[in-house]
A = this chain, B = another copy of it.
Amino acid sequence: MSRLGVVLLSGGLDSTTVAAMARSEDYRLLALTIDYNQRHRIELDRAAAVAERLGAERHIVLPLDLRGFGGSALTSDTAVPKDGVMPGIPVTYVPARNTIFLSVALGWAEAVGARDLFIGVNALDYSGYPDCRPEFIAGFERLAELATKAGVEGEAFRVHTPLAAMTKGDIVRAALAVDAPIELTWSCYDPTPAGTPCGECDSCRLRAKGFAEAGVADPALP
């Protein structure tokens, strides 16, 4: 019998690729999308379309409004930078975002008996977020054992990060290999009024780099 996997699905290229990879490994998908009142709400619709296309057993969109906390260009009115990918941790960093998202995924996983979490973090082209690093993921796995009834009873949770060591080009190639519905995905942090990607934010730049490296056209572009 195939296992249940809780997949954090934003509707972007990375998480969609991870979900398709989990499906290709015969996991039954529980897709979790966090609606943290992000600027790029179009992601939420894309996440729903991706979950349906991939045959997820359930898709939960969980409202979790981090806007009241401030502290990030993605959840406040701070301008999204457009000057290219810079060294260091950018203003689009959302404090503790992946810790929060993985904790919620852990709660769902434990409630339904799943032991596998999937998240599309990437440590190479990772935009400089601390909570995308392998040491953070390993730390979260250790915490999950201390935090849960299942962990206390000797069961381990595993956080799968199949994109961790990939370049964006690798990710595009992996997406094609597992037939991920790339055309449904959305990456831009700052859509134009017409609802098209801005082409200038870090996320647009990284995405474009990936398709260029893989030598294919981006099927989500108009």
Contacts and interface: CB of A to CB of B under 8 A. Distances in A.
Interface of A is mostly: helix
A143 B107 contact: no
B111 A107 contact: no
B99 A95 contact: no
A135 B152 CA distance: 11
Interface in A106-121: 106-112
Interface string A77-96: 00000000000010001111
B95 A148 contact: yes
Interface in A143-171: 143-144, 146-149, 151-152
A135 B151 CA distance: 13
Copies in the complex: 2
Contacts of A142: 139, 142-143
Nearest to A96: B107
Contacts of A131: 146-148
The winner among A89, A100, A140 for most chain B CB atoms within 10 A is A100
A130 B70 CA distance: 31
A130 B147 contact: yes
Contact of A103 (B96, B108, B135): B96
Contacts of A136: 143, 146-147
Q: List 5 tightest A-B contacts by C-beta distance, closest first.
A: A71-B111, A95-B110, A96-B107, A69-B111, A103-B103
Contact of A130 (B60, B95, B151): B151
B100 A104 contact: yes
A149 B89 contact: yes
A195 interface: no
A69 B135 contact: no
